[in-house]
Amino acid sequence: MQTGKGKERVSCDLCGHAEYNFITKQTDLIHKTTDEIFEVVKCRKCGLIFTNPRPNKESIGRYYSDKYTFHKDKSLTKKVINHALNRLVNNSFIRSISPLFPGKINRILIQLLKPNIPDPVLVYLNQDITSQKEISFLDIGCGSGSNANFWGTASSLLSLCKTIKVIGIEISDDARNVLSSNNIKSYKTIDEISSLNKFDIIRLNWSLEHVHSPSKYFEFINSNLSKDGIAIICVPNNDGLIYKINKSCLELPIHLFHYDIRSLTKFAEKYQLTISEYKTFSYPAMYAFAEDISLIPQKYNFSKMSLNKAFEFMQTHMILDDIGFGNDLMVILRKKGKN
């Protein structure tokens, strides 16, 4: 149902139920594209959490900030600097002397601090079973193909296109132009891909929370995943500690769905898929940013924290990550009966 001014009120995408309970409301505190208020609701029947009312397909574009970096291509210099800084933050000696660094330097280094989660695409490609045939990889929401978000460049389309068959799905025309200049085949939506076209790896890296109908993507995975293939889904985890501290840490209105392991499991079951692996993880930069915009109490003082202290914080957080309270969630899906 359209509610005027480019917004629509919707029923549950997972079970179709039209009744829901109010969870929270908030404006765009993160990208500051609007001061309109958006509500988040929970389906009374299946528990799916979603933004409702929400921007419709025609209006959603105006809530993406120009600074939204997802589609931007990094220059080679930036990539080299990033690589060098990544090595620095993982060096225990550098961490131990970090309290001596100026606050600004610590702040830059903390941005790069991440837990060591093996890249699921590379893990799959390194298995023996994949050595005999040509692997096909579909990256949904691939941006310009230069990086794989959390995992950096090693499993980007640009790197993988040298060894396996890759295709990208990307809504941004600019990003698709970059892909085609690198001879990477891409489409604007999954609708352009025939169900006869099977993929060994389908990846949705932080894209499923942005789509208007996740069901459509699960249905696509069900029909287009090869028999022994995997689908990798990474999304913000609504069970994450940061969302327990303050529900308003949600990225509204561009995140239309707010998943947890229960809702992803129900989606998987509905489309004859099983979750063969699941992991939650967190990194300190998210807390530092939430503190900057007053979404979490300033008493922890992330803005003045040394790299070393932030590293200790991340290590402690891993206990929570292990029991499902990490702020990001990764699941690996397989066809039923194949895990």
Q: Does 175 bind Zn ion (CB under 5 A)?
A: no
* Closest distance to Zn ion from the beta carbon of 105 (Å): 48
User: One symbol per residue from 66 to 105: x for binding Zn ion (CB under 5 A), - otherwise; what is it?
Assistant: ----------------------------------------
**Segment contacting Zn ion by CB under 5 A, of 38-46, 55-63, 125-133, 195-203:** 38-46
Residue 12 touching Zn ion (CB under 5 A): yes
Q: What single letter denotes the amino acid at residue 311?
A: F
| Residue 253, CA distances (Å) to 27, 63, 131 in order | 7, 7, 43
Give 17 or 78: the residue with its C-beta nearer to Zn ion.
Answer: 17
CA nearest 282: which of 252, 237, 251? 237
In the complex with Zn ion, the residue whose CB is nearer, 40 or 305, is 40
23 contacts Zn ion (rule: CB under 5 A) = no
Token readout for 111 is 């941005």
Taking the least distance from each CB to Zn ion, the nearer of 15 and 285 is 15
DSSP-derived pairing of the beta strands 165-169 and 199-205: unpaired
CB atoms within 10 A of CB 94: 15
Out of 41, 43, 171, 333, the residue judged to bind Zn ion by CB under 5 A:
43
Looking at the Cβ atoms of 15 and 88, the one nearer to Zn ion is 15
Contacting Zn ion within 197-236 (CB under 5 A): none
Q: Does 15 sit near Zn ion (CB under 5 A)?
A: yes
State the nearest-atom distance from the C-beta of 46 to Zn ion, in Å.
Answer: 3
Q: Is 17 in the site for Zn ion (CB under 5 A)?
A: yes
Options 11-19, 186-194, 284-292, 298-306: segment touching Zn ion (CB under 5 A): 11-19
Minimum CB distance to Zn ion, residue 45 (Å): 5
Among 289, 224, 338, 262, smallest CA distance to 29 is for 289
Phi, psi of 16 (to 5 degrees): 85, -5
Cβ of residue 328: shortest distance to Zn ion, in angstroms? 23
Return the structure tokens found at 80.
């080299």
Give the DSSP letter of residue 285.
Answer: H
Strand 273-281 with 185-187, pairing: unpaired
The distance of closest approach from Cβ of residue 264 to Zn ion in the complex, given in angstroms and rounded to an integer, is: 13
Alpha helices in 112-165 (DSSP H): 120-125, 157-160
State the DSSP code for 303. Answer: G
Total residues interacting with Zn ion, rule: CB under 5 A: 8
45 forms part of the interface with Zn ion (CB under 5 A): yes
Considering only residues 10, 30, 40, 48, which one is a binding residue for Zn ion as defined by CB under 5 A?
48
Residue 332 engages Zn ion in binding (rule: CB under 5 A)? no
- Residue 336 C-beta: closest distance to Zn ion, Å: 21
**Which window, 36-44, 77-85, 187-195, 265-273, contacts Zn ion (CB under 5 A)?**
36-44
Q: Strands 38-43, 49-51: parallel, antiparallel or unpaired by DSSP?
A: antiparallel
CA distances from 71 to 42, 62, 158, 167 (A): 30, 15, 14, 16
As a whole number of Å, the end-to-end CA separation of the chain is: 40
Radius of gyration of the chain (CA): 20
Distance, CA of 49 to CA of 170 (rounded, Å): 25
Q: Does 46 bind Zn ion (CB under 5 A)?
A: yes
The one-letter amino acid at 308: N
Degrees, nearest 5: CA angle 202-236-75: 70
- CB of residue 28 to Zn ion, shortest distance in Å: 25
Q: In angstroms, give the least distance from the CB of 266 to Zn ion.
A: 8
**Whose Cβ is closer to Zn ion: residue 12's or residue 307's?**
12
Binding site for Zn ion (CB under 5 A): 12, 14-15, 17, 43, 45-46, 48
